[in-house]
Chains A and B, each alone.
Chain A
Amino acid sequence: EPEVTQTPSHQVTQMGQEVILRCVPISNHLYFYWYRQILGQKVEFLVSFYNNEISEKSEIFDDQFSVERPDGSNFTLKIRSTKLEDSAMYFCASRDRPEAFFGQGTRLTVV
């Protein structure tokens, strides 16, 4: 069964450093999303991406964040200068119908 894959599974970074989280969505899907989940809390929408551009973004997705689909298969989330409060699980999702398929997440720890 096709699946969304995310790398790395864990990332520890120093405050102020840039991080790039990577995702490979399901190949025939057209809509891509990033969500985050602070430990034990709700799943928060960050950004959606369609037709090679951002289609919607939340208040969380400020100038420190950017997304890219560099090569037609990968979908990346970049955080330019990480803060302690960016520590969370980051999930990528893709869909071509109402149901979304999620990756297993990247646990980002900012120290």
Chain B
Amino acid sequence: SQQGEEDPQALSIQEGENATMNCSYKTSINNLQWYRQNSGRGLVHLILIRSNEREKHSGRLRVTLDTSKKSSSLLITASRAADTASYFCATDRRGNTPLVFGKGTRLSVIA
């Protein structure tokens, strides 16, 4: 299976701190994506990084990809209470193939 596995499973930080979540996967990929899920809600796409990219930024988000280690990290800088959610990485074999999700990291940002 190519599924991603995130760690940590849960992370609790103070508002203003940075949050780092990691993801590992098993097979070759076309791209890796990060999604956010508020409790009981649908998944919302955050950022995508292609297999030939090493780092990408979007606002307070920074994602890195190391294909040699089959791993990715998501950094949320200057976290806010509103960032409290679960964060999932998802791998894509070749675009439009089913995304395979990891187990997610539950992030709690305490005001």
Contacts and interface: CB of A to CB of B under 8 A. Distances in A.
Q: Are both chains from one complex? A: yes
B101 A95 contact: no
A98 B101 contact: no
Interface in A29-53: 31, 33, 35, 41-45, 48, 50
A54 B54 CA distance: 34
A18 interface: no
User: Helix, strand, loop or mixed for chain A's interface?
Assistant: strand
Interface residues of B, number: 25
Interface string B9-25: 00000000000000000
Contacts of B40: 89, 105, 107
Interface residues of A, number: 27
A21 to B, nearest CB: 14
Nearest to A43: B101
B49 to A, nearest CB: 10
Given A102-B43, A104-B42, A105-B42, A42 B48 contact: no
B99 A45 contact: yes
B45 interface: yes
A98 B31 contact: yes
B48 A98 contact: yes
Interface of A: 4, 31, 33, 35, 41-45, 48, 50, 56, 58, 89, 91, 93, 95, 97-105, 107
